[in-house]
Structure 1
Protein backbone atom coordinates (compact mmCIF):
# COMPACT_ATOMS: atom_id res chain seq x y z
CA UNK A 1 0.00 0.00 0.00
CA UNK A 2 1.79 3.15 -1.19
CA UNK A 3 1.14 6.60 0.24
CA UNK A 4 1.58 10.03 -1.41
CA UNK A 5 4.58 12.17 -0.45
CA UNK A 6 2.34 14.31 1.77
CA UNK A 7 1.45 11.37 4.01
CA UNK A 8 1.79 12.18 7.73
CA UNK A 9 2.85 9.02 9.51
CA UNK A 10 1.85 8.46 13.11
CA UNK A 11 4.83 8.23 15.43
CA UNK A 12 5.42 7.00 18.94
CA UNK A 13 4.63 10.02 21.14
CA UNK A 14 5.80 7.97 24.10
CA UNK A 15 6.69 4.37 24.80
CA UNK A 16 6.37 2.31 27.94
CA UNK A 17 6.54 -1.18 29.36
CA UNK A 18 3.89 -2.60 31.62
CA UNK A 19 4.30 -3.35 35.30
CA UNK A 20 4.03 -6.82 36.76
CA UNK A 21 1.05 -7.14 39.09
CA UNK A 22 -1.67 -9.58 40.07
CA UNK A 23 -5.45 -9.39 40.03
CA UNK A 24 -8.44 -11.58 40.77
CA UNK A 25 -7.38 -14.38 43.11
CA UNK A 26 -3.69 -13.90 42.39
CA UNK A 27 -3.50 -14.17 38.59
CA UNK A 28 -0.14 -12.83 37.44
CA UNK A 29 -0.31 -10.27 34.65
CA UNK A 30 1.35 -7.18 33.16
CA UNK A 31 -0.53 -3.86 33.45
CA UNK A 32 0.22 -1.57 30.52
CA UNK A 33 -2.58 1.02 30.80
CA UNK A 34 -4.05 1.75 34.22
CA UNK A 35 -0.82 2.03 36.19
CA UNK A 36 1.19 5.06 37.37
CA UNK A 37 3.04 5.45 34.05
CA UNK A 38 -0.19 5.71 32.02
CA UNK A 39 -3.36 5.91 34.17
CA UNK A 40 -5.60 6.02 31.06
CA UNK A 41 -5.74 6.90 27.37
CA UNK A 42 -9.27 8.19 26.75
CA UNK A 43 -11.45 6.15 26.14
CA UNK A 44 -9.18 3.29 27.34
CA UNK A 45 -8.98 2.76 31.09
CA UNK A 46 -6.84 -0.36 31.40
CA UNK A 47 -4.85 -2.85 29.35
CA UNK A 48 -3.62 -6.07 30.97
CA UNK A 49 -1.59 -8.75 29.24
CA UNK A 50 -1.61 -12.19 30.79
CA UNK A 51 0.65 -14.98 29.63
CA UNK A 52 2.19 -17.90 31.48
CA UNK A 53 2.90 -21.60 31.23
CA UNK A 54 2.73 -21.97 35.02
CA UNK A 55 -0.72 -23.16 36.16
CA UNK A 56 -0.15 -21.72 39.64
CA UNK A 57 -0.06 -18.24 38.03
CA UNK A 58 -3.61 -18.49 36.66
CA UNK A 59 -5.59 -21.39 38.19
CA UNK A 60 -7.27 -19.27 40.89
CA UNK A 61 -8.81 -17.12 38.14
CA UNK A 62 -11.10 -14.17 38.69
CA UNK A 63 -13.91 -15.17 41.10
CA UNK A 64 -17.14 -13.17 41.27
CA UNK A 65 -16.63 -9.42 41.09
CA UNK A 66 -18.84 -6.46 40.06
CA UNK A 67 -18.56 -3.92 37.23
CA UNK A 68 -20.49 -0.76 36.38
CA UNK A 69 -20.10 2.04 33.86
CA UNK A 70 -17.66 0.66 31.28
CA UNK A 71 -16.83 -2.25 28.96
CA UNK A 72 -14.33 -5.09 29.26
CA UNK A 73 -12.75 -6.69 26.21
CA UNK A 74 -11.14 -10.10 26.64
CA UNK A 75 -9.06 -11.47 23.75
CA UNK A 76 -7.80 -15.01 24.27
CA UNK A 77 -4.63 -16.07 22.48
CA UNK A 78 -4.09 -19.40 24.27
CA UNK A 79 -6.07 -21.30 26.87
CA UNK A 80 -9.72 -21.61 27.85
CA UNK A 81 -11.69 -19.33 30.19
CA UNK A 82 -15.25 -19.86 31.46
CA UNK A 83 -17.31 -16.78 32.30
CA UNK A 84 -20.58 -16.55 34.20
CA UNK A 85 -22.64 -13.66 35.54
CA UNK A 86 -25.53 -13.11 37.92
CA UNK A 87 -27.95 -12.53 35.02
CA UNK A 88 -27.64 -16.14 33.85
CA UNK A 89 -25.17 -15.53 31.03
CA UNK A 90 -22.38 -18.06 30.55
CA UNK A 91 -19.82 -18.82 27.88
CA UNK A 92 -16.44 -20.35 27.13
CA UNK A 93 -13.59 -18.35 25.63
CA UNK A 94 -11.24 -20.52 23.56
CA UNK A 95 -8.03 -19.61 21.67
CA UNK A 96 -8.62 -16.69 19.32
CA UNK A 97 -12.03 -15.80 20.80
CA UNK A 98 -13.13 -12.30 21.83
CA UNK A 99 -15.66 -11.20 24.41
CA UNK A 100 -16.77 -7.56 24.49
CA UNK A 101 -18.84 -7.13 27.65
CA UNK A 102 -20.82 -3.95 28.24
CA UNK A 103 -21.29 -3.84 32.01
CA UNK A 104 -23.62 -0.84 31.85
CA UNK A 105 -25.65 -0.38 35.04
CA UNK A 106 -23.98 -3.34 36.65
CA UNK A 107 -23.43 -7.06 36.90
CA UNK A 108 -21.44 -9.53 38.94
CA UNK A 109 -19.39 -12.01 36.95
CA UNK A 110 -16.53 -14.46 37.17
CA UNK A 111 -13.82 -15.56 34.75
CA UNK A 112 -12.29 -18.91 35.65
CA UNK A 113 -9.73 -20.99 33.73
CA UNK A 114 -11.16 -24.21 32.29
CA UNK A 115 -7.81 -25.96 32.15
CA UNK A 116 -5.36 -27.27 34.73
CA UNK A 117 -2.14 -27.07 32.75
CA UNK A 118 -0.68 -25.53 29.62
CA UNK A 119 -0.37 -21.97 28.38
CA UNK A 120 -2.86 -19.20 29.25
CA UNK A 121 -2.32 -16.01 27.26
CA UNK A 122 -4.35 -13.00 26.19
CA UNK A 123 -5.40 -9.41 26.84
CA UNK A 124 -8.06 -7.60 28.77
CA UNK A 125 -8.90 -4.03 27.77
CA UNK A 126 -11.27 -1.69 29.62
CA UNK A 127 -13.15 0.84 27.48
CA UNK A 128 -15.07 3.71 29.05
CA UNK A 129 -18.74 4.34 28.29
CA UNK A 130 -20.26 7.81 27.76
CA UNK A 131 -22.41 9.13 30.60
CA UNK A 132 -25.64 8.47 28.67
CA UNK A 133 -24.80 4.75 28.38
CA UNK A 134 -23.33 4.04 31.81
CA UNK A 135 -26.66 2.79 33.16
CA UNK A 136 -27.64 0.79 30.06
CA UNK A 137 -28.63 -2.87 30.32
CA UNK A 138 -25.60 -5.19 30.35
CA UNK A 139 -24.89 -7.03 27.13
CA UNK A 140 -22.27 -9.27 25.50
CA UNK A 141 -20.70 -9.47 22.07
CA UNK A 142 -18.88 -12.80 21.99
CA UNK A 143 -17.25 -14.38 18.96
CA UNK A 144 -15.14 -17.53 18.46
CA UNK A 145 -11.98 -17.30 16.42
CA UNK A 146 -13.63 -18.66 13.26
CA UNK A 147 -16.11 -15.74 13.22
CA UNK A 148 -13.39 -13.08 13.19
CA UNK A 149 -12.06 -12.22 9.72
CA UNK A 150 -8.37 -12.55 8.89
CA UNK A 151 -6.96 -10.74 5.86
CA UNK A 152 -3.59 -10.51 4.11
CA UNK A 153 -3.42 -6.83 3.05
CA UNK A 154 0.26 -6.99 2.01
CA UNK A 155 2.92 -9.60 1.36
CA UNK A 156 3.98 -11.21 4.63
CA UNK A 157 1.25 -9.46 6.62
CA UNK A 158 -1.77 -11.07 8.28
CA UNK A 159 -4.38 -9.04 10.16
CA UNK A 160 -7.15 -10.35 12.38
CA UNK A 161 -9.95 -7.76 12.35
CA UNK A 162 -11.67 -7.76 15.75
CA UNK A 163 -13.18 -4.26 15.44
CA UNK A 164 -13.02 -1.71 12.64
CA UNK A 165 -12.27 -2.34 8.98
CA UNK A 166 -9.30 -3.43 6.87
CA UNK A 167 -10.17 -3.18 3.21
CA UNK A 168 -13.58 -4.82 2.83
CA UNK A 169 -13.22 -6.90 6.00
CA UNK A 170 -15.19 -5.64 8.98
CA UNK A 171 -14.66 -6.88 12.51
CA UNK A 172 -17.72 -8.28 14.32
CA UNK A 173 -17.57 -5.87 17.28
CA UNK A 174 -19.77 -2.78 17.14
CA UNK A 175 -19.80 0.15 19.59
CA UNK A 176 -20.95 3.47 18.05
CA UNK A 177 -19.97 5.51 21.13
CA UNK A 178 -16.22 4.96 20.74
CA UNK A 179 -16.09 3.49 17.20
CA UNK A 180 -13.25 1.12 18.18
CA UNK A 181 -10.47 -0.33 16.08
CA UNK A 182 -8.84 -3.55 17.35
CA UNK A 183 -6.41 -5.38 15.07
CA UNK A 184 -4.07 -8.31 15.72
CA UNK A 185 -1.22 -7.87 13.21
CA UNK A 186 1.34 -10.55 12.32
CA UNK A 187 4.40 -9.45 10.34
CA UNK A 188 6.76 -11.87 8.65
CA UNK A 189 10.46 -11.01 8.63
CA UNK A 190 11.16 -8.17 6.22
CA UNK A 191 7.52 -7.12 5.78
CA UNK A 192 5.78 -3.81 6.44
CA UNK A 193 2.24 -2.45 6.38
CA UNK A 194 0.54 0.93 6.34
CA UNK A 195 -2.97 1.67 7.60
CA UNK A 196 -5.01 4.89 7.73
CA UNK A 197 -6.06 5.49 11.34
CA UNK A 198 -9.56 6.72 12.20
CA UNK A 199 -9.51 10.51 12.39
CA UNK A 200 -9.44 11.97 15.90
CA UNK A 201 -9.07 8.64 17.69
CA UNK A 202 -6.69 7.84 20.52
CA UNK A 203 -4.45 5.01 19.33
CA UNK A 204 -1.74 2.71 20.58
CA UNK A 205 0.30 -0.25 19.38
CA UNK A 206 1.56 -3.03 21.65
CA UNK A 207 4.11 -5.62 20.55
CA UNK A 208 3.69 -9.03 22.15
CA UNK A 209 5.95 -11.18 19.95
CA UNK A 210 9.28 -10.18 18.41
CA UNK A 211 10.27 -6.58 17.62
CA UNK A 212 8.56 -4.08 15.32
CA UNK A 213 9.42 -0.63 14.03
CA UNK A 214 6.67 2.00 14.23
CA UNK A 215 6.63 5.11 12.05
CA UNK A 216 8.61 6.21 9.02
CA UNK A 217 11.92 7.93 8.34
CA UNK A 218 13.63 9.70 11.21
CA UNK A 219 10.53 9.27 13.39
CA UNK A 220 10.76 5.47 13.30
CA UNK A 221 10.83 3.87 16.74
CA UNK A 222 11.71 0.25 17.45
CA UNK A 223 9.44 -1.51 19.94
CA UNK A 224 10.57 -4.63 21.74
CA UNK A 225 8.39 -7.44 23.03
CA UNK A 226 5.94 -6.22 25.71
CA UNK A 227 6.46 -2.56 24.75
CA UNK A 228 3.70 -0.10 23.89
CA UNK A 229 3.66 3.09 21.84
CA UNK A 230 1.08 5.85 22.24
CA UNK A 231 0.55 7.05 18.68
CA UNK A 232 0.06 10.55 17.34
CA UNK A 233 1.32 13.26 15.02
CA UNK A 234 0.00 11.65 11.85
CA UNK A 235 -2.90 9.78 10.31
CA UNK A 236 -1.17 6.72 8.82
CA UNK A 237 0.15 3.89 10.97
CA UNK A 238 3.20 2.09 9.63
CA UNK A 239 4.74 -1.05 11.11
CA UNK A 240 7.67 -3.04 9.81
CA UNK A 241 9.71 -5.94 11.14
CA UNK A 242 13.16 -7.34 10.44
CA UNK A 243 12.15 -10.62 12.10
CA UNK A 244 8.74 -12.19 12.70
CA UNK A 245 6.61 -9.97 14.95
CA UNK A 246 3.08 -9.69 16.28
CA UNK A 247 1.29 -6.68 17.76
CA UNK A 248 -2.11 -5.27 18.48
CA UNK A 249 -3.24 -1.90 17.10
CA UNK A 250 -6.09 -0.35 19.08
CA UNK A 251 -7.90 2.97 18.62
CA UNK A 252 -11.07 4.59 19.92
CA UNK A 253 -12.91 7.90 19.84
CA UNK A 254 -12.17 9.90 23.03
CA UNK A 255 -15.20 10.67 25.21
CA UNK A 256 -13.71 13.79 26.86
CA UNK A 257 -15.92 13.41 29.94
CA UNK A 258 -15.06 13.53 33.65
CA UNK A 259 -13.93 10.18 35.03
CA UNK A 260 -14.65 9.07 38.59
CA UNK A 261 -13.10 5.69 39.25
CA UNK A 262 -13.17 3.32 42.18
CA UNK A 263 -11.97 -0.22 41.53
CA UNK A 264 -14.51 -1.94 39.26
CA UNK A 265 -16.80 1.12 39.02
CA UNK A 266 -16.20 3.91 36.48
CA UNK A 267 -18.66 6.81 36.50
CA UNK A 268 -18.58 10.58 35.97
CA UNK A 269 -18.92 11.85 39.56
CA UNK A 270 -18.02 10.77 43.09
CA UNK A 271 -21.73 10.76 43.93
CA UNK A 272 -22.36 8.20 41.18
CA UNK A 273 -19.55 6.05 42.57
CA UNK A 274 -21.11 6.19 46.04
CA UNK A 275 -24.47 5.17 44.55
CA UNK A 276 -22.80 2.27 42.73
CA UNK A 277 -21.37 1.03 46.04
CA UNK A 278 -24.78 1.25 47.69
CA UNK A 279 -26.50 -0.50 44.78
CA UNK A 280 -23.95 -3.31 44.83
CA UNK A 281 -24.12 -3.76 48.60
CA UNK A 282 -27.94 -3.87 48.46
CA UNK A 283 -28.00 -6.44 45.65
CA UNK A 284 -29.30 -4.22 42.87
CA UNK A 285 -26.73 -5.40 40.32
Structure 2
Protein backbone atom coordinates (compact mmCIF):
# COMPACT_ATOMS: atom_id res chain seq x y z
CA UNK A 1 0.00 0.00 0.00
CA UNK A 2 1.17 3.54 -0.80
CA UNK A 3 0.67 5.74 2.25
CA UNK A 4 -0.41 9.32 1.64
CA UNK A 5 1.86 12.18 2.72
CA UNK A 6 1.00 15.60 4.10
CA UNK A 7 0.99 17.89 1.08
CA UNK A 8 -0.36 21.20 2.40
CA UNK A 9 -1.66 22.76 5.63
CA UNK A 10 -4.59 25.16 5.39
CA UNK A 11 -5.15 26.97 8.67
CA UNK A 12 -8.73 27.83 9.52
CA UNK A 13 -9.41 31.53 8.94
CA UNK A 14 -11.79 33.29 11.33
CA UNK A 15 -14.81 34.71 9.53
CA UNK A 16 -18.59 34.89 9.83
CA UNK A 17 -21.56 33.82 7.75
CA UNK A 18 -25.33 33.77 7.87
CA UNK A 19 -26.56 36.54 10.17
CA UNK A 20 -23.19 36.81 11.88
CA UNK A 21 -22.32 33.28 13.03
CA UNK A 22 -18.62 33.14 13.86
CA UNK A 23 -16.64 30.25 12.36
CA UNK A 24 -13.31 29.08 10.95
CA UNK A 25 -13.03 28.38 7.23
CA UNK A 26 -10.18 26.22 5.89
CA UNK A 27 -11.03 24.43 2.62
CA UNK A 28 -12.51 27.10 0.37
CA UNK A 29 -11.30 30.11 2.37
CA UNK A 30 -10.09 31.33 -1.03
CA UNK A 31 -10.93 29.96 -4.50
CA UNK A 32 -7.41 28.50 -4.78
CA UNK A 33 -7.94 26.54 -1.57
CA UNK A 34 -10.74 24.31 -2.85
CA UNK A 35 -10.03 20.57 -3.11
CA UNK A 36 -12.16 19.00 -5.86
CA UNK A 37 -14.97 18.08 -5.18
CA UNK A 38 -14.84 19.92 -1.82
CA UNK A 39 -15.85 23.55 -2.08
CA UNK A 40 -15.69 24.59 1.55
CA UNK A 41 -15.28 23.37 5.14
CA UNK A 42 -16.47 25.54 8.02
CA UNK A 43 -15.95 24.73 11.68
CA UNK A 44 -18.13 26.53 14.21
CA UNK A 45 -17.42 26.17 17.92
CA UNK A 46 -18.22 28.46 20.84
CA UNK A 47 -19.96 28.65 24.19
CA UNK A 48 -20.84 32.31 23.66
CA UNK A 49 -24.40 32.54 22.30
CA UNK A 50 -23.61 35.94 20.77
CA UNK A 51 -21.41 34.05 18.29
CA UNK A 52 -24.26 31.87 16.97
CA UNK A 53 -27.67 33.04 18.14
CA UNK A 54 -28.55 34.92 14.93
CA UNK A 55 -28.16 31.70 12.96
CA UNK A 56 -28.71 31.31 9.22
CA UNK A 57 -32.05 32.86 8.14
CA UNK A 58 -33.66 31.72 4.84
CA UNK A 59 -31.15 31.62 1.99
CA UNK A 60 -30.81 29.80 -1.36
CA UNK A 61 -28.42 27.16 -2.73
CA UNK A 62 -27.96 25.60 -6.15
CA UNK A 63 -25.50 23.10 -7.66
CA UNK A 64 -23.95 21.24 -4.71
CA UNK A 65 -24.53 19.36 -1.45
CA UNK A 66 -24.19 20.60 2.12
CA UNK A 67 -23.28 18.25 4.96
CA UNK A 68 -23.78 19.66 8.46
CA UNK A 69 -22.36 17.63 11.35
CA UNK A 70 -23.45 18.84 14.78
CA UNK A 71 -21.05 17.77 17.52
CA UNK A 72 -22.70 19.82 20.27
CA UNK A 73 -25.87 21.86 20.19
CA UNK A 74 -29.27 22.06 18.51
CA UNK A 75 -30.30 23.78 15.27
CA UNK A 76 -33.52 23.52 13.28
CA UNK A 77 -33.55 23.14 9.49
CA UNK A 78 -36.60 24.31 7.54
CA UNK A 79 -36.87 24.45 3.74
CA UNK A 80 -39.28 25.36 0.95
CA UNK A 81 -40.18 21.67 0.44
CA UNK A 82 -41.71 21.51 3.90
CA UNK A 83 -38.86 19.61 5.57
CA UNK A 84 -38.21 20.38 9.22
CA UNK A 85 -35.15 18.76 10.77
CA UNK A 86 -33.95 18.92 14.37
CA UNK A 87 -30.16 18.77 14.14
CA UNK A 88 -28.96 17.78 17.61
CA UNK A 89 -25.67 16.70 19.16
CA UNK A 90 -24.05 13.91 17.13
CA UNK A 91 -26.47 14.22 14.22
CA UNK A 92 -25.96 15.01 10.55
CA UNK A 93 -28.00 16.88 7.94
CA UNK A 94 -27.25 15.83 4.33
CA UNK A 95 -28.84 18.24 1.89
CA UNK A 96 -28.61 18.02 -1.89
CA UNK A 97 -29.41 21.50 -3.13
CA UNK A 98 -29.19 20.47 -6.81
CA UNK A 99 -31.50 22.70 -8.93
CA UNK A 100 -32.44 24.78 -5.93
CA UNK A 101 -33.41 24.88 -2.29
CA UNK A 102 -34.25 27.72 0.08
CA UNK A 103 -33.71 26.87 3.72
CA UNK A 104 -32.87 28.24 7.15
CA UNK A 105 -30.74 26.85 9.99
CA UNK A 106 -31.60 28.46 13.29
CA UNK A 107 -30.30 27.76 16.82
CA UNK A 108 -32.76 26.17 19.22
CA UNK A 109 -30.74 27.11 22.30
CA UNK A 110 -29.97 30.39 24.03
CA UNK A 111 -26.90 29.24 25.95
CA UNK A 112 -24.32 26.48 26.00
CA UNK A 113 -21.87 25.14 23.44
CA UNK A 114 -22.61 25.07 19.72
CA UNK A 115 -19.98 23.12 17.79
CA UNK A 116 -19.81 21.33 14.46
CA UNK A 117 -18.95 21.47 10.77
CA UNK A 118 -20.50 22.32 7.46
CA UNK A 119 -18.96 20.77 4.35
CA UNK A 120 -19.89 21.73 0.77
CA UNK A 121 -19.48 18.97 -1.83
CA UNK A 122 -19.80 19.85 -5.51
CA UNK A 123 -22.19 18.03 -7.83
CA UNK A 124 -21.30 17.01 -11.39
CA UNK A 125 -22.83 19.03 -14.23
CA UNK A 126 -25.30 16.26 -15.05
CA UNK A 127 -26.72 16.36 -11.49
CA UNK A 128 -26.77 20.08 -10.77
CA UNK A 129 -30.34 20.52 -11.99
CA UNK A 130 -31.90 17.39 -10.53
CA UNK A 131 -34.58 17.78 -7.82
CA UNK A 132 -33.42 18.89 -4.39
CA UNK A 133 -33.32 16.37 -1.54
CA UNK A 134 -32.85 16.43 2.22
CA UNK A 135 -32.01 13.82 4.83
CA UNK A 136 -31.88 14.20 8.60
CA UNK A 137 -29.62 11.59 10.27
CA UNK A 138 -29.87 11.39 14.09
CA UNK A 139 -26.87 10.41 16.20
CA UNK A 140 -28.35 6.95 16.87
CA UNK A 141 -28.00 6.08 13.16
CA UNK A 142 -24.28 6.92 13.02
CA UNK A 143 -22.14 3.93 14.05
CA UNK A 144 -19.21 4.41 16.41
CA UNK A 145 -16.47 1.78 16.31
CA UNK A 146 -13.90 1.23 19.06
CA UNK A 147 -10.32 0.87 17.84
CA UNK A 148 -8.15 -2.03 19.12
CA UNK A 149 -5.45 0.25 20.52
CA UNK A 150 -7.77 2.85 22.00
CA UNK A 151 -9.86 5.60 20.54
CA UNK A 152 -12.91 5.36 18.31
CA UNK A 153 -14.27 6.35 14.91
CA UNK A 154 -17.74 7.57 13.93
CA UNK A 155 -18.73 6.60 10.39
CA UNK A 156 -20.80 9.31 8.72
CA UNK A 157 -20.24 8.38 5.07
CA UNK A 158 -18.52 5.51 3.31
CA UNK A 159 -17.13 2.40 4.97
CA UNK A 160 -14.72 2.04 7.88
CA UNK A 161 -12.38 -0.93 7.77
CA UNK A 162 -10.66 -2.05 10.98
CA UNK A 163 -8.90 -5.37 10.47
CA UNK A 164 -11.51 -7.70 8.99
CA UNK A 165 -14.43 -5.63 10.32
CA UNK A 166 -16.22 -3.33 7.87
CA UNK A 167 -18.75 -0.77 9.11
CA UNK A 168 -20.85 1.32 6.75
CA UNK A 169 -22.17 4.76 7.61
CA UNK A 170 -25.71 5.98 6.90
CA UNK A 171 -24.46 7.64 3.69
CA UNK A 172 -22.98 4.68 1.86
CA UNK A 173 -24.15 4.61 -1.77
CA UNK A 174 -22.52 2.58 -4.50
CA UNK A 175 -19.91 4.67 -6.32
CA UNK A 176 -22.04 4.78 -9.47
CA UNK A 177 -25.06 6.28 -7.66
CA UNK A 178 -23.29 9.20 -5.97
CA UNK A 179 -20.65 10.67 -8.23
CA UNK A 180 -18.24 11.74 -5.49
CA UNK A 181 -18.42 8.50 -3.42
CA UNK A 182 -17.54 10.33 -0.16
CA UNK A 183 -15.78 9.02 2.94
CA UNK A 184 -16.40 11.00 6.14
CA UNK A 185 -14.94 9.72 9.43
CA UNK A 186 -14.79 11.43 12.84
CA UNK A 187 -11.67 10.08 14.57
CA UNK A 188 -10.82 10.26 18.29
CA UNK A 189 -7.39 9.00 19.41
CA UNK A 190 -5.59 9.06 22.77
CA UNK A 191 -2.10 10.54 23.12
CA UNK A 192 0.27 8.71 20.77
CA UNK A 193 -2.56 6.59 19.35
CA UNK A 194 -2.42 5.53 15.72
CA UNK A 195 -4.97 4.93 12.97
CA UNK A 196 -4.48 3.59 9.46
CA UNK A 197 -7.21 3.39 6.86
CA UNK A 198 -7.52 2.71 3.12
CA UNK A 199 -8.46 5.61 0.85
CA UNK A 200 -9.14 5.05 -2.84
CA UNK A 201 -6.17 6.01 -5.01
CA UNK A 202 -7.04 9.01 -7.16
CA UNK A 203 -9.52 10.41 -4.62
CA UNK A 204 -8.76 13.76 -2.97
CA UNK A 205 -8.49 13.64 0.81
CA UNK A 206 -7.79 15.83 3.81
CA UNK A 207 -7.82 15.62 7.60
CA UNK A 208 -9.09 18.49 9.73
CA UNK A 209 -8.00 18.69 13.37
CA UNK A 210 -10.43 20.28 15.81
CA UNK A 211 -8.82 19.11 19.09
CA UNK A 212 -5.16 18.37 19.76
CA UNK A 213 -2.85 17.58 16.86
CA UNK A 214 -1.97 14.70 14.55
CA UNK A 215 1.05 13.70 12.50
CA UNK A 216 0.97 12.20 9.00
CA UNK A 217 4.19 10.38 8.13
CA UNK A 218 6.07 12.53 10.66
CA UNK A 219 4.59 15.92 9.70
CA UNK A 220 2.20 17.63 12.11
CA UNK A 221 -1.25 19.03 11.42
CA UNK A 222 -2.06 21.48 14.25
CA UNK A 223 -5.44 22.29 15.75
CA UNK A 224 -7.90 24.27 13.60
CA UNK A 225 -6.12 23.25 10.40
CA UNK A 226 -6.82 21.08 7.35
CA UNK A 227 -4.02 18.80 6.20
CA UNK A 228 -4.35 18.12 2.48
CA UNK A 229 -3.02 14.66 1.62
CA UNK A 230 -1.07 13.49 -1.42
CA UNK A 231 -2.33 10.62 -3.57
CA UNK A 232 -2.05 7.04 -2.35
CA UNK A 233 -4.27 4.18 -1.28
CA UNK A 234 -4.06 4.57 2.52
CA UNK A 235 -3.48 7.14 5.24
CA UNK A 236 -1.70 6.61 8.57
CA UNK A 237 -1.98 9.16 11.39
CA UNK A 238 -0.58 9.40 14.92
CA UNK A 239 -2.09 11.54 17.67
CA UNK A 240 -0.02 14.18 19.43
CA UNK A 241 0.72 14.40 23.15
CA UNK A 242 -2.78 15.67 23.97
CA UNK A 243 -4.57 13.14 21.77
CA UNK A 244 -6.65 14.23 18.81
CA UNK A 245 -10.14 14.65 17.44
CA UNK A 246 -10.23 15.08 13.69
CA UNK A 247 -12.37 14.41 10.64
CA UNK A 248 -10.92 12.44 7.72
CA UNK A 249 -12.74 13.28 4.48
CA UNK A 250 -12.16 11.95 0.96
CA UNK A 251 -14.04 11.78 -2.34
CA UNK A 252 -13.69 11.20 -6.06
CA UNK A 253 -12.83 14.47 -7.88
CA UNK A 254 -15.11 15.68 -10.65
CA UNK A 255 -12.52 17.41 -12.87
CA UNK A 256 -15.08 19.98 -14.01
CA UNK A 257 -14.93 23.78 -14.13
CA UNK A 258 -16.24 25.56 -11.03
CA UNK A 259 -17.95 28.94 -11.23
CA UNK A 260 -19.20 30.14 -7.86
CA UNK A 261 -21.22 33.16 -6.84
CA UNK A 262 -22.00 32.94 -3.13
CA UNK A 263 -24.50 30.10 -2.60
CA UNK A 264 -24.62 29.13 -6.29
CA UNK A 265 -22.01 26.76 -7.75
CA UNK A 266 -22.26 25.92 -11.44
CA UNK A 267 -19.97 25.19 -14.40
CA UNK A 268 -20.35 28.40 -16.42
CA UNK A 269 -20.98 32.09 -15.84
CA UNK A 270 -24.17 31.83 -17.89
CA UNK A 271 -25.50 29.18 -15.50
CA UNK A 272 -24.76 31.46 -12.55
CA UNK A 273 -26.63 34.30 -14.23
CA UNK A 274 -29.56 31.92 -14.79
CA UNK A 275 -29.50 30.94 -11.11
CA UNK A 276 -29.63 34.61 -10.10
CA UNK A 277 -32.53 35.24 -12.49
CA UNK A 278 -34.36 32.16 -11.19
CA UNK A 279 -33.90 33.31 -7.59
CA UNK A 280 -35.15 36.81 -8.36
CA UNK A 281 -38.24 35.60 -10.18
CA UNK A 282 -39.08 32.88 -7.66
CA UNK A 283 -38.39 29.82 -9.82
CA UNK A 284 -35.03 28.72 -8.34
CA UNK A 285 -36.70 26.19 -6.06
CA UNK A 286 -39.87 25.64 -8.07
> Which of 171, 174, 179 lines up with 1:173 in the alignment?
171
Give the Cα separation in 1 of the matches to 2:202 and 2:48: 41
Shift of 1:236: 1.6
Give the Cα separation in 2 of the matches to 1:34 and 1:200: 20
Give the Cα separation in 2 of the matches to 1:223 and 1:270: 36
Q: Which residue in the other structure is 2:24 paired with?
A: 30
Shift of 1:141: 2.4
> Which of 140, 145, 148 lines up with 1:151 in the alignment?
145
Give the Cα separation in 2 of the matches to 1:36 and 1:200: 23
TM-score, normalised to structure 1, is: 0.94
Q: Which residue in the other structure is 1:14 paired with?
A: 8
Give the alignment of 1:58-73 within 5 angstroms.
58-73=52-67
Query: Structure 1: which 5+ residue stretches go unaligned?
Result: 1-6
Q: Is the 8 A contact 1:154 1:193 kept in 2?
A: no
SS of residue in 2 equivalent to 1:154: coil
Residues 244-253 or 170-179, more deviating: 170-179
Q: Which residue in the other structure is 2:234 paired with?
A: 236
Q: What is the number of residues matched between the two proteins?
A: 275
Give the Cα separation in 2 of the matches to 1:99 and 1:205: 20
Q: Is the 8 A contact 2:157 2:169 kept in 1?
A: yes
SS of residue in 1 equivalent to 2:35: coil
> Which of 222, 225, 231 lines up with 2:223 in the alignment?
225
Give the Cα separation in 1 of the matches to 2:127 and 2:30: 28
> Which of 187, 201, 204 lines up with 1:202 in the alignment?
204
TM-score, normalised to structure 2, is: 0.93
State the superposition RMSD in angstroms. Answer: 1.2
Shift of 1:199: 2.1
Query: Structure 2: which 5+ residue stretches go unaligned?
Result: none
Q: Which residue in the other structure is 1:255 paired with?
A: 254
Shift of 1:55: 0.4
Which portions of structure 1, spanning 4 or more consecutive aligned residues, are displaced by more than 2 angstroms?
A: 36-39
